[in-house]
Amino acid sequence: MRTIYYFCNSCSPGWHHGMAIDEEGACVAEHICSHHAYLEHDLIRRSDRVEAYDKAYPDGWVAEFVESPREHAGLMAAYAKNQLKAREGENPS
């Protein structure tokens, strides 16, 4: 079972940059939406996203919303893996 953390990376009126990153540091989705309340649908529940996640994680996946990204140990560990992969040239995100 893989965890996908999703969160608002940048919030301002009418401009919410949502991101989803898995526990291994892969950025699996990004989306700009007009309201914070749409993040779950746009990043996690859309049928094309569910299909992609089901394919990528055949052993299953669970989504976890993170309200305070910099204070969340799991997301910060995933981000550290993401940055390491980027430095090693494995992950362009």
C-beta of residue 11 within 8 angstroms of C-beta of residue 34: no
pLDDT at 28 exceeding the cut of 90: yes
CB-based burial, 76-93: b 16+ in 10 Å, e otherwise: eebbebbeebeeeeebee
- C-beta neighbour count of 49 within 10 angstroms: 19
Dist CA 75 CA 5 (whole Å):
6
pLDDT for 47-86, tens place per residue?
Answer: 999 999 999 999 999 999 999 999 999 999 999 999 998 8
pTM, whole model, 2 decimals? 0.88
